[in-house]
A and B are shown apart, each in its own frame.
Chain A
Amino acid sequence: MTLDLYSVSVMTAAVVLIVGIIYISETLIRRDEVTGRHWSIAFLAGILTTIAYAIWAAGGGWIAIAAGNAAFVAATGFIWIGCRSYNGHRIGWAYGTVGGGMAVAFVAVVVEGPEGGDWAGVVWMYAALAVLASFGVWETARGRLAQTRTTIALAIVLVIEALYTAARALVFLLRGPDDPVFQTWFSTIPASFVTIALVITAAIVTSILRAGRAGMRGYTNLVAVDGSDRILTEPQFRATVTDVLERAEEKGIGVGVIAMRIDDLPFIAKAFGNEVGRHVAVAARDAVRRTVEPLAVIGDDGATVLWVCDTSWDASEARRQASRLATAVFEALRTVPDAVVPVVGIGVAVTHDFGYDAGALIDAADAASTRSAKTGDISVLIAEPPRSKPPASVGPDAPASAPAGS
């Protein structure tokens, strides 16, 4: 297989650009998070490196080589800094170290000046890269990164980079750039393959690691991955409620489900920004968590509805709980800065009316919350028992629907 330098350079540039742009774009749609930000900078530096080398190849000045080398160092350096921040280590001196490495790579080219040619100051860059990549390997081997198997791939790639650049520096120093050994193993074409492998692996691993850290930007998918707010997802919630109902039915204990919906959330996110929408959602969730009984089951549908399920509830107790919840949520929402207080619909359904069927109970509470949000004047609505249950609906004195003032 014969590969020419130009094609390989273009391919490398394409890979770096595409991977970099994808990674950085994801930064925009994910919640702001310091580790992801550092890795984004690494990819940004990678893109700058590509531009610099392309400019140099297109006939730009030696300053392009200097900037390209510094950016190359920054790319590896910021991967390392991202790892440090992932592990929760201090990063102040790491900035200094990377800055120093960049300066060395830059100055090394400047010193050789316009006459330096393709390989000006390259050894210094190799040295900086080898050192920073080694730091990166060391960082992946400890702390929380060491507990994640995903990291192994990143560690291997960084080991390869450290060893390869070190070897490259050695061969360059000992034999010079024209030596056949250097040409075969350490010239631009083989180095490009190493670069491509490094970029792709790093992008995949850091993407996975970041996905575990930062949820999507905005109000949806608020369930913290590290479990700090233990609100169940919809399938988890439904499964838990089914279990609760099964056990409650055997003992004849009443169970109730409250559904709380904030349908205005998407509009708040649109009008005031995703972060404000997120704050509103978080405030509501926190208020719910703090208000309900400690053992109550809380779940959400990943969008605008939160559910609470608790035992020992008859209709009036459920109504009391829901009223308390409404007040607490309202108080919490009022304190969210830069936002308006959204309409909150709260619906309640109890087993006394709907029997011990999780689906029916949750759906009834949902429907009641929708109606509650629409009527506006009453913040808590008790779900209507189904019409097909004759005894409850025979007497007009027993109103089928009993919404309550809250």
Chain B
Amino acid sequence: MAVLQQLMLAVVVLVVTAFAIIAAVPGDLTLFFVGVGMVFLLTIVTMLVPWNTISPWAVGVIPVIDIAAILLMRVAFPESGLALLWLFPVMWLSAALGLAGYVAANLFVWASYCWVIAAGKQSAFSFALLLLPIVTLAVSTGAYLSVRRFAAQRKLLDKQALVLGQSLERTQHQEQLVTQVLDSVDFGVIRISADGRVTVTNEAHARMQHALISADGHNRLPAFDADGQTPLDPERMPVARAQRGEVFDNQIVWFGAPDTTRRALSVTARRLRDTQGADAGTVVISRDVTAERTALLARDNVVASVSHELRAPLTAIVGYLDLALETDGIPEKVRGDLDVATQNAERMIQILSDILSATSSSKSTVDVTVSPENVDLQQLVLASAEAWEPTALERRITIFTDDVQPTHAYVDPARMRQVADNLISNAIKYGREGGSVQLAVYGDGVASYLLVRDDGIGLSPDDQNRLFRRFFRASTDVGGTGLGLAICRDIVRAHGGEIIVGSEQGVGSAFLVRIPAQVDVPLPPIDPDEALNMSGAITTAGRSDMEATG
């Protein structure tokens, strides 16, 4: 810095000298030249001295000598106003050496100036006389203040940089940690920002994407819905849904055409909130559930074939029992025993056909055939309630049927009775001992409703999600195949209706069946929460709409 400043002064002096020589200004050329020589010599010395390695105060020597050199030049040409050049060294002193330099520079210049004036033969008072010390003072004050301010700003900036650096370092380490963790887990993670852009993906995600590339290495395998058959629209793809801001749990997507090697992903999207609670985008988590899904299918196949194999001998047993019962002259005692055997064998056939109907195809839904007709739903439900009355009494449960209103529905009576029986028996099985089961039937002309509510143990949200899966059982203490609800839902859906469940643990559960009231009048879609609210089935009870995950 000192070198640059001194070179600048040397150039100015050079120009002044050229002017003095060319214009032949009257004055003491020799004295003037001594001043010029001093400036140049000082410039050379400045260039040779390694300023960085010596005391910072040593730099102060340069402007001091400059002031002296300019003094000589000023004395050589009294009328020249060369003293103005003092502004350079005064500024440097004030800037480089702080307050001490500022005071010293001003004192030095003022003293030199007074001496020049006193020794000179100029008139005592003129503007120029007054101007120089004042300008020097003002300029040096400005330089001193701005340097001081700059130094303070610099100091603050350094501290800020330190603080910022530390927090940046922390952030970096955290970021690194998160990346490492994300990369080491085996489920795919994608973060979608609030504006729908994908901002973070992990390695597991990349691996999954890689696994979904077809054998030719270019195209992605086609995607199918949870049933493995229905092609999935691009806008129904999980990431597309998440990018639109949807939130969902465990959407199953199959990749690969049926009857080829395929993979199933279970994808969940959750909303993220920033510290202020504002939308911070979505995180999409995908798991490879191919093995799980394949195992489920295998189980279904085994169960189906075992049931099928058992049914033939059972049918034979029932047939021969019937023959035996028709034989004359068998003792009353034996007839009674044969009756019991027949009932149990028939019951077993019923169970086997339930199992078979639930597993009879590789599809997730049961192929239920229904023959709907106009049915008095009130009578149907009351009959079912009556049939279960003895069972309810065993557990001291009261069945309330006050809300079963005269209502018609367009359903298959046998199938609908199956549904009612199932729901009521479940309510009794899982209800509180000594509690109550409330039944309600009502309609609005378009849809008819059957509500079965108990005050039992209730269902956890997890259980609610799995409730309609085949072989799911909420409690292993209570007997059953875990097929009842799955079949119920399949029957109701075959009618174009829906079963909605609401439950709260410790309060009870409510099942609402919605079926068409008339022929050829399709049911409008309805929000499950709304339906449950209207039915009065839930107060604070949680709810879960069942995604077709079975």
Interface residues of chain A, those whose CB is within 8 Å of chain B, are 17, 21, 24, 27-28, 37, 40-41, 44-45, 47-48, 51-52, 54-55, 58-61, 63-64, 67, 71, 74, 95, 315-316, 323, 326-327, 330, 334, 338-341, 378-379, 391, 394-406
Contacts and interface: CB of A to CB of B under 8 A. Distances in A.
Given A63-B34, A397-B209, A404-B200, A44 B44 contact: yes
A45 B44 CA distance: 8
A205 B198 CA distance: 59
B206 A21 contact: no
A308 B172 CA distance: 22
A341 B168 contact: yes
A323 B176 contact: yes
B168 A330 contact: yes
B30 A406 contact: no
Interface in B1-39: 4, 7, 10-11, 14, 17-18, 21, 24, 29-30, 32-34, 36-37
Contacts of B172: 326-327, 330, 379, 406
Interface in B349-379: none
Interface string B154-175: 0001101100110011001001
A55 B33 contact: yes
B40 A48 contact: yes
Contacts of A55: 17, 21, 29-30, 32-33, 36
B387 interface: no
A295 B336 CA distance: 94
A45 B34 CA distance: 15
A402 B201 contact: yes
Nearest to A334: B165
B47 A41 contact: yes
Interface in B114-161: 157-158, 160-161
Contact of A52 (B33, B219, B220, B235): B33
A394 B223 CA distance: 11
9 tightest A-B CB contacts, nearest first: A61-B30, A396-B240, A399-B198, A60-B29, A396-B237, A396-B239, A48-B40, A55-B33, A405-B179
A63 B220 contact: no
Nearest to A315: B206
27 contacts: A17-B18, A21-B14, A37-B47, A41-B47, A45-B40, A48-B40, A54-B17, A61-B29, A61-B33, A67-B33, A327-B176, A334-B165, A339-B161, A340-B157, A391-B218, A391-B219, A394-B234, A395-B212, A395-B220, A396-B234, A396-B237, A397-B265, A399-B190, A401-B198, A402-B206, A405-B175, A405-B179
A406 B33 contact: no
Contacts of A95: 48
Contacts, number: 151
A397 B161 contact: no
User: How many B residues touch the partner, as a band?
Assistant: 35 or more
B436 interface: no
A58 B29 contact: yes
A207 B164 CA distance: 44
Contact of B238 (A28, A340, A341, A397): A397
B96 to A, nearest CB: 15
B30 A60 contact: yes
A402 B198 contact: yes
Contacts of B165: 334, 341
| Most chain A Cβ neighbours within 10 Å, of B33, B237, B286 | B33
B476 interface: no
Contact of B33 (A17, A47, A51, A340): A51
Contacts of B48: 37, 41, 95
B200 A323 contact: no
A206 to B, nearest CB: 15
Nearest to B219: A391
A48 B37 contact: yes
Contacts of B41: 48
B239 A40 contact: no
Contacts of A397: 209, 212, 220, 223, 237-239, 253, 265, 286
A399 B200 CA distance: 10
A381 to B, nearest CB: 9
Interface string B498-529: 00000000000000000000000000000000
B369 to A, nearest CB: 37
B243 interface: yes
Contacts of B197: 401
B179 A24 contact: no
Nearest to A375: B199
Contacts of A71: 40
Contacts of A398: 209, 212, 220
B389 interface: no
B24 A58 contact: yes
B30 A63 contact: yes
B243 A396 contact: yes
Nearest to B31: A61
Given A24-B7, A54-B21, A395 B179 contact: no
Contacts of A27: 7
A391 B24 CA distance: 86
Given A41-B47, A58-B21, A399-B190, 12 more contacts: A17-B18, A21-B11, A21-B14, A51-B21, A54-B17, A63-B33, A340-B161, A397-B237, A397-B265, A399-B201, A400-B198, A404-B200
B255 to A, nearest CB: 9
Contacts of B14: 17, 21, 47, 51
A44 B43 contact: yes
Nearest to B223: A395
B97 interface: no
